[in-house]
Amino acid sequence: MSGTDLDFDLGGRRALVTGAGAGVGAGIADQLASAGVHVVVNDIDPDRAGAVADRIVGAGGTSSTAVFDVTDHDAVRAAVAATGPIDVLVNNAGNAGVEGFGRLVDFVDTTPADWNAFMSVNVHGVLNCTHAVLPSMIERGWGRVITIISDSARSGGSRMAVYGAAKAAAAGLTRGIAGEVGRHGITVNNIALGTIRTEATESLWSGTDNAELQRQILSGYPIRRPGEPADVAWVTAMLASPRASWITGQTIPVNGGFSQAL
């Protein structure tokens, strides 16, 4: 398995990556495994979770699966208890409302049912998973919690206000928890993403039929390409490592320069 160019000193650690059956989560799982981490691959779909875990093992890493819905508090607690101690939690599972990029809608045209689609995973999922892993981290005196959010949490987003609000809520939770658990050797940080090319959006980026839409999307990025899961995975591994022991309560943008807000 590649990934030895930089030693993150993570050998022997155990990580739970939520929503890791595809896309950014799968990329993070691969990178952590290449750094010597035993990766617990979570997904709501057992086949997707199993495929990623099998790929990690086939490449020489170690991995297992934990199939649960992050929005189900009891299921999360039971699954975490069954996996054994978790050193690194990556709250990657997210929901843009629908598959792919999501539907852009003016706030006045949305309903409470629409809001729930964003809040359930992006807020309650993060609450449930973080709440489940922290007690054992505190007991052991070491831990990393990394939550994947969106640049819309930092700079807002026209016609995606509720999605941005949900991601901003997760970011605020991170800052609050960081202040509580730092004395226990636990760091808590966010990674804010711009547009990432994944399986869910591949139809947009492949071929020339969507050339004009591609141009419109990328015109806001100083680096004129969509992000890749590997771009996120390297930063995640860094924040998970002992090298980042003095970084906490922060939001690290991985966004091609889309939002340069503080």
Catalytic residues: 163
Q: What is the dihedral of CA 144, 128, 12, 187, to 10 degrees?
A: 10
Q: Which residues of 212-237 are buried (b: 16+ CB within 10 A; e: fewer)?
A: eebeebbeebeeeebbebebbbbbbb
Q: 74: how many CB neighbours lie within 10 A of its CB?
A: 9
The residue whose two tokens read 């050339």 is: 211
Helix or strand holding residue 16 (H, E)? strand 14-17
At residue 97, what is the residue type?
A: G
Which distant-in-sequence residues (6+ apart) come within 8 Å of 27 by Cβ?
228, 229, 230, 232, 233
What does the alpha-carbon distance between residue 212 and residue 209 come to, in Å, rounded to a whole number? 8
Helix or strand holding residue 90 (H, E)? strand 88-91
Which distant-in-sequence residues (6+ apart) come within 8 Å of 100 by Cβ?
200, 201, 204
Q: Which residues pair with 252 in a beta bridge?
A: 191
What does the alpha-carbon distance between residue 169 and residue 122 come to, in Å, rounded to a whole number? 8
At residue 207, what is the residue type?
A: G
* DSSP reduced 3-state for 97: coil
